[in-house]
Structure 1
Amino acid sequence: MTFESPSASGLTRRGMLTGAAAIGAGSVGLATAPAAAAPLTARGYRTRVVLAGTAGGPPPQDGRLGICTVVLVEDRAYLVDLGPGAVTAYARAGLTMEQVQSVFITHLHSDHLAEVYNLFWLNYGAPGARGNISRSVGIYGPGPAGSVPQAPGAPVQQPEAPTPGLTDFLRGAVAATAYDLNTRMAESRKPDIWNVLDPHDIELPDIGASATNRAPDMEPFEVMDDGFVRVTAILVDHPPVFPSFAYRFDTADGSVVVSGDTAPSDNLVRLARGADLLVHEVYDHAYFATINPRLAETFSRTHTASDRVGQLASAAGVGTLALSHLVPAGVRDVPDQVWKRHARKSFGGTVVVGRDGDTIGIGGRTK
């Protein structure tokens, strides 16, 4: 497992400093160059992971864009989640729209879903600076939850259909943007957007999972296999959201697991067993306990604290742990060394504190 810096045109001061200091496995760099920068690759590695956007939470953050993790097999890009600013993060990482093969959504919270439609709406038809999407792309994610969480006095939006799934979301987005789509098809001869959108609500195995039994013990199940990558999923617990998935990508070069949002999960450990890389969400409990104890208590039930994530990585036996979907996400809120120190309390492998554009090579160099 190796970490590579971006090309010289994309290096920041942090990237140059870490590159100069790196030994052994290599260096971790940042991609903060504009969209025109050369593509980011882990040189000589056929399979790479780009932490394109590393922020958790919907609001804008200082120094990080919304969550988007990209598994690259050769030049084929498999995207996991598209939070606020994720399309920009993807472009800044030097990746093109032609590379997009499939998209996987872990759950239907806004900070994971905000730009899944934008990826296609803004980048199909006429080529832009980062190319265009011109063929059908599979988009995989949760179907309808079946029931909506209830709280005293809380209003329910769209009570006749309060739990739309991923396919419903995309249909609604197309309906809401119909005027724009129709005018562009008329004036610019853009194709029908359904030529590129191919949504799939993931069908769950018959294990008794429901909105009140969100993540029962289960085995991973296959979502997609295109000959380059086999994608399996498992339910994780991110109350009150259901379904909430973690994904595993098995390639000829190694395996990558992306946790999605989850409290500490035995299912996640099962999915990640023996993986080369685990990309896991984290929050800093001490930070929130100081400024908002009630929120810290909520996060303790819905997310994984930075001082517990190492236990999960150790239990799964992964080689490298990358922290992403960091909350708080501002680069000045919690120093990188604090995130790393917490994770290393119970994990002896390599820990990477995700910054937008960091690229990780999987397996051995091919050249």
Structure 2
Amino acid sequence: MSDRLVCLGSKGGPALRPGGPWPSSSLLELGGRTIVVDCGLGVTRGLVDAGISLKTLDLIFITHLHSDHVLELGPLLHTAWTAGFASPVTLFGPPGTGHYWRRFCQAMEFDIEIRIVDEGRPDIRELVSIVEFGEGEIFEQRGLKVSALRVDHPPVTDCFALRFDHAGKSIVFSADTAFFPPLANFARDADILVHEAILEEGIERLVARTGNGARLKEHLLASHSFAEEAGRIASDARVKRLVLNHLIPADDPEIGEADWEAAVRKSWTGDLTIARDGLVVGFRE
């Protein structure tokens, strides 16, 4: 299989609206590995639509425990189990990931126990290995190296950018973060930087329709990056391609790709992709 990134879910935040995109999840196929980064709602359907057999799930990485990144983690693993996976899956996440997984299995205990007996399935609780990580190198196997950098996403302290390197190819996911200059060094010379982005002109309309407007606006401005700031990180890092993802707002009818491009072009002149659900991004040879 050729190396590729698939943006499964491209919107920031947990809300779903008619005709809108799904929250955060990505598929990375790199060095023969099937890697899922974040598991917001829709990740299972997105993987199937991308042509992935759920039985081949391999590595899952969670950047932080906000619901739009983790809500469908348990359901993805459980659905893969009912689809027939019988080999171990390794789940990497920040502190608290193991707690989430144990509680999910407790909630599904009736179903899990009955399927083990009735359908002869292996115990899912023994198939999933949990690795809780902090900063630094968190995985190295068969030429694939994964590193983590703590980023600035208050009030969440355990939120990590991730860098994947294999055979001279590299991709970095910013996770959710306010403008964070050290990210440029972490992403230095990467083939692809997937960076979150908010668009200032959409924020007022977004908070107006969401409710709790003042507090939500405060959070968005303190915890996320404007598109122009994402462009600055990409420029400083000298990456080959910038992918704007985790878009806020992602479902405003008055905002289109041209608006995102206009904002990011103030600081980034290189190759640019504005994420949308199901979009495939290849690595430049």
Q: Which runs of 5 or more residues in structure 2 are unaligned?
A: 208-212
Aligned counterparts of 2:102 and 2:67: Cα–Cα separation in 1: 16
What's the TM-score once normalised by structure 2's chain length? 0.92
C-alpha deviation, 1:230, in angstroms? 0.6
SS of 2:81's equivalent?
A: coil
Letter in 2 for 1:169: Y
Q: Deviations over 1:206-241 (max 9, x none)?
A: xxxxxxxxxxxxxxx111011142100100010000
Q: C-alpha distance in 2, partners of 1:225/1:344? A: 35
Residue by residue over 1:131-184, the C-alpha shift from the partner in whole angstroms, topping out at 9 and shown as x without a partner, is x422111111111xxxxxxxxxxxxxxxxxxxxx00011011111110111111
Tell me which of 168, 187, 191 is aligned to 1:276: 191
Query: Equivalent residue for 2:210?
Result: none
Hey, what's the Cα distance between the residues in 2 that align with 1:332 and 1:117? 32
Q: Deviations over 1:192-214 (max 9, x none)?
A: 01232111111x36xxxxxxxxx
Q: How does 1:91-240 map to 2 (within 5 A)?
A: 91-125=48-82, 127=83, 132-143=84-95, 165-202=96-133, 204=134, 221-240=136-155
The 5 A counterparts of 1:247-326 are 247-290=162-205, 292=207, 294=214, 295-326=216-247
Larger fraction in strand:
2
Q: Is 1:49 the equivalent of 2:5? A: yes
The 2-side partners of 1:345 and 1:175 are apart by 50
Which amino acid in the other structure matches residue 282 of structure 1?
A
TM-align CA RMSD: 1.7
- Aligned-partner residue type, residue 134 of structure 1: A
Counterpart residue number, 1:70:
27
- CA shift digits 1:101-122 (9 cap, x unpaired): 2111000000000111111111
Structure 1 or 2, whichever has the larger Rg, is 1
In 2 relative to 1, CA 349–70 (structure 1 residues): closer, same or farther, beyond 3 Å?
same
Closer/same/farther in 2, CA of residues 178 and 272 from structure 1, 3 Å limit: same
Q: TM-score, normalised by structure 1?
A: 0.72
Query: How far does residue 331 in structure 1 lie from its aligned partner after superposition?
Result: 6.4
Quote how far apart the aligned CAs of 1:97 are. 1.6
Amino acid paired to 1:197: V
Take 2:232 and 2:116, find their aligned partners in 1: how far apart are those partners? 53
> Which amino acid in 2 is paired with 1:306?
A
Matched residue type, 2:130:
P
Summarize the Cα distance change of 1:77–1:299 in structure 2 as closer, same or farther, 3 Å threshold.
Answer: same
| Residues 296 and 49 (structure 1), Cα distance of their counterparts in 2 relative to 1, 3 Å cut | same
**1:196 alignment partner AA:** L
Q: What SS class does the counterpart of residue 307 from structure 1 fall into?
A: helix
Tell whether the 8 Å contact from 1:107 to 1:142 is kept in structure 2 after alignment: yes
| 1:59 aligned residue | 15
Shift of 1:72: 0.5
SS of the aligned residue for 2:203 comes to helix
Distance 1:363 1:230 in 2: 19
Q: CA deviation at 1:340?
A: 1.4
Distance 1:133 1:333 in 2: 43
**TM-superposed deviation, 1:54:** 1.0
Q: Is the 8 A contact 1:324 1:354 kept in 2?
A: yes
Amino acid at match of 1:172: R
Answer 1 or 2: which has greater helix percent.
2
